[in-house]
Amino acid sequence: MAPNSVKVGNAEVLFFNDCVNDIDVTKFIPGVPAKFWADYPDQVRPNGMLVKPINVAVFAVITPKHTVLVDSGIGPVPFEQFPHLKGNMLGKMKRAGIQPEDVDTVFASHAHFDHIGWHTVLRDGTLTRTFPRAKYLIPKLDWDAIYDPQKFIHARKPKDTFQPAVDVLLWSKPLLDRVVAFGNYDLTEDEQDITPELKVMATPGHTPGHQSLLLNSRGERMFFMGDAIHLPIQFDHPLELGAADVHQRESAKTRAKAVKWIEKEKVIAASPHFPDPFGHIVRVQGRRYWQVLK
């Protein structure tokens, strides 16, 4: 069984799954002929559904001076468009010994609803910040895109904008409005240092401002990929366009670059959606596999 926590230098990374969701790969990556998936019976069923459902997960990075949450999951309230999904990661976090007030930074890889759902919570009938002491970090370009989509999505990349995915991104506006209302937030840009050990790496395309994070502690590294790569089956054909991506071609280029980099650097990667969150990319007989951390 894969671990729920990993030591990276002086840091500890804990994984908390908020909920799981079934995915139909033929809809998620629609350009791939169905027969292609027959080569991946360990991952895709003949009907196109994933063998294991995806996670919607959160990571806590504990360094000597900081407790950083990487994404906050789907949240406690079923989202209007996905009423069957409801998160339970907060209870798991508390049971692992992390209280909401221990968290000093909440980083969002991007502004999708399934990554910022626990930013706020209803407590005794009153809406409040879930992590009262934390600075909330949102990618600047996602912020710009949500508050002025005409200017930042359509005008910037008119030929590489997939409207259904824009619509999904805009579902997040009410969630962000709450973050604004409570204050203590900041907007993040490429190469920004979040803590001495955590640096932003822009991985745009899934959303305009999508960001990954690189943890580096005493020479040991972990790459929080966010949704730059959604599923291990994308390793071998990263350039296939994804139906969840706002800028599909840009996302495909980002994915191909990220896959190559993770493989070359032999870095441990962490995914909020892979069924097994921690692993490496390894190559066996020319094909790339997700080798789960043991």
Q: Which residues make up the interface to Zn ion (CB under 5 A)?
A: 114, 227
Query: At closest approach, how far in Å is the CB of 113 from Zn ion?
Result: 9
Min dist. Cβ of residue 210 to Zn ion (A) = 10
Q: 62 or 228, CB closer to Zn ion?
A: 228
Helix (H, G, I), strand (E, B) or coil at 165: helix
Joined together, the tokens standing for residue 11 give 């840091």
Nearer to Zn ion, 164 or 183 (CB): 164
- Please identify, using beta-carbon distances, which residue of 142 and 227 lies nearer to Zn ion: 227
Least CB distance from residue 207 to Zn ion, whole Å? 10
Rounded alpha-carbon distances, angstroms, from residue 213 to 31, 84, 87, 195: 29, 30, 23, 11
Nearest-angstrom CA–CA distance, 38 and 19: 27
SS3 state of residue 21? strand
CB of 140 to Zn ion, least distance (A): 19
DSSP assignment letter at 160: G
Would you say 114 or 142 has its CB closer to Zn ion? Answer: 114
Asked whether the beta carbons of 160 and 250 are under 8 A apart, the reply is yes
Specify the residue, 140 or 206, whose C-beta has the smaller distance to Zn ion: 206
Cα–Cα distance measured from residue 42 to residue 282, given in angstroms and rounded to the nearest whole number: 16
Q: Least CB distance from residue 281 to Zn ion, whole Å?
A: 20
Report the 10 Å Cβ neighbour count for 107: 27
When CB distances to Zn ion are compared, the closest residue is 227
Q: Between residues 227 and 245, which has the closer beta carbon with respect to Zn ion?
A: 227
CB of residue 270 to Zn ion, shortest distance in Å: 13
> How far are the Cα atoms of 97, 118, 183, 272 from residue 114, in angstroms, in the given order?
24, 9, 21, 10
Q: In the 8-state DSSP scheme, what is residue 50?
A: B
* Structural contact between residues 16 and 57, judged by C-beta atoms closer than 8 angstroms: yes
